[in-house]
Amino acid sequence: MFVDLSCWINVIAMNYNAQTGSNFQADLIMNQRIHLFCSVVFIVTAICSSTLEAQTRSKEDPKFTRARHYMVETAVRQAGVTDERVLSSMLQTRRHEFVLRRDQFRAYLDAGVPIGSAQTISSPFIVAYMTQMLDPQPTDRVLEIGTGSGYQAAILSPLVKEVYSIEIVEALGKRAAKVLKKLKYENVFTKIGDGYKGWEEHAPFDKVIVTCSPEDVPQPLVDQLREGGLLIVPMGQRHQQTLYLMIKKDGKLVTEALRPTLFVPMTGAAEDARKVKPDPTDPQILNFDFEEGLDEKGFVKGWYYQRRLELIAGDEAPSGEHYVKFSNDVPGQHAHVMQGFAIDGRSVSAVDFEAHLKLENVKRGIYNEDIPVAMISFYDEDRRHLKDAVLDPLSFNKDWHKLEMKSIRVPIATKDAIVRIGMFGATGTAKFDAVKLTVSKKSN
């Protein structure tokens, strides 16, 4: 998974500050300027399997336990994951063990976190959502393509009989295997190899989960899935993907589109066979004025991770006949949409960014920085965050007005970027239209 909106958790900040003397919250705000915080008191009832019990016998720092509870409630349960077994596994699995030590303070944000080798650990919501849609059963033997950090395999472990996980990047595969062994996930088996080929000697599998994005489903994975088995995979172009759930019937896959998404590409043979590749020298925001409508599942086309958003038609739209409206009545709650695209900082040195915005009854959220914004975040080839460019409203409760930034410097190491628009913790209503990006300067 690439990057999702962050749910900034205050309890981590307080503990981190106390231990390191760093201004954790200020660092987070400067890094992404967006954060959400759960102020809801909740009770999570979890029935733990023997695997989870084995994992949790050793003492854990209470700050991680509290942060994980917040994460499960705000980023997973409130976002629509309802399977109690999945929620239990998410609650008990120590996500901070699966990221690099320097990034452990980010482990319980609703965000993808870089794990090295141009890969990321998927956001908690996506891990939970994919797990729920896979309908894991205690007798299932599951094939995972893309071990990454090992976190997805760890979530599946207490829910199924066996997990077979393949990672093409040797360094990641070895590190994940070490962590899984340390945490006693004894029913997870890993190997280094090209996931395109599957794991034939252990086939057939009841379920297949692909945590990287090919252009098409590799045939070996179809062959190794049992009749009636389920496969879940993000598929499509490099930055325009859809998460699909597939069932094998009469030797063929019957496909259901679930939702737009953004994952790192499947490398190896799958990437070699990719027909459509992005042009990083000509970055564009697709469906920038929302005129392309909704897909069959009710999501705005071209954008992903839609939360609390409506597509509105009417003469009020500054550009065309449509705009999007975000509504939120709970401070700190998710209300946003995103789009990723390729951009090469060696070819594009500066861009212009603009958006039209109308605010109604808007109030700040938990923090002063919780306000409606449009922003671009730039990332390097390892998915490390480089820089943000933020369009702030000059005042709240204002009629349609144009926000713009000219000649935004693009860091030379940039390979990808993500545009985010939404409430970002504020309450009230925010309407957006004509979210445009144009290249203002190319490198010589």
pLDDT at 49: 41
List of residues 6+ apart from 313 with CB closer than 8 A: 321, 322
CA proximity to 238, closest of 264, 219, 269, 257: 264
Q: Per-residue confidence at 292, pLDDT binned at 50, 70, 90?
A: very high
> Catalytic pick from 88, 89, 117, 122?
122
Phi/psi zone of residue 129: left (φ > 0), alpha (ψ -120 to 50 degrees), beta? alpha
pLDDT at 143: 98
Average pLDDT of span 200-221: 94
List of residues 6+ apart from 386 with CB closer than 8 A: 378, 379, 380, 411, 413, 414
Which of the pair, 316 or 23, is modelled with greater confidence? 316
Q: Per-residue confidence at 270, pLDDT binned at 50, 70, 90?
A: low
Concerning whether 395 is annotated as a catalytic residue, the answer is: no
The domain over range 304-442 is classified in CATH as 3.40.50.970: no
Which of the pair, 267 or 191, is modelled with greater confidence? 191
Residue 427 pLDDT > 50: yes
What letter would DSSP give residue 224? Answer: T
Q: Per-residue confidence at 212, pLDDT binned at 50, 70, 90?
A: confident
- For residue 31, CA distances in Å to 306, 378, 386, 398 come to 22, 11, 8, 27
* pLDDT, tens digit, 9 for 90 and up, residues 223-252: 999 999 999 999 988 788 899 999 999 999
- For residue 63, CA distances in Å to 39, 70, 84, 158 come to 16, 11, 23, 24
pTM equals 0.78
pLDDT at 22: 37
To 10 degrees, the CA torsion angle through 124, 128, 134, 140?
Answer: 100
- For residue 167, CA distances in Å to 176, 192, 195 come to 9, 5, 7
Residue 398 pLDDT > 90: no
Mean pLDDT of the chain: 85
Tokens of 428: 């009230």
Separation of alpha carbons 236 and 439, rounded Å: 25
pLDDT at 271: 63
Question: Do the Cβ atoms of 385 and 32 come closer than 8 Å?
Answer: yes
Domain boundaries, the chain: 10-272, 304-442
CA proximity to 283, closest of 322, 239, 337: 239
Give me the phi and psi of 199, to 5 degrees please. Answer: -135, 80
Q: What is residue 165's three-state secondary structure?
A: strand
**Where do we find the tokens 């900082």?**
345
| Pairing, β 205-210 against β 141-145 | parallel
CA proximity to 341, closest of 436, 237, 239: 239
Question: Do the Cβ atoms of 378 and 417 come closer than 8 Å?
Answer: yes
Tokens of 182: 């340390």
Bridge partners (DSSP) listed for residue 213: 265
Compute the half-sphere exposure of residue 38: CA atoms within 13 Å on the CB side of its CA: 25
* pLDDT, tens digit, 9 for 90 and up, residues 400-426: 999 999 999 999 999 999 999 999 889
How many beta carbons lie within 10 A of that of residue 374, not counting itself?
A: 24
Q: Which CATH superfamily is domain 10-272 in?
A: Vaccinia Virus protein VP39 (3.40.50.150)
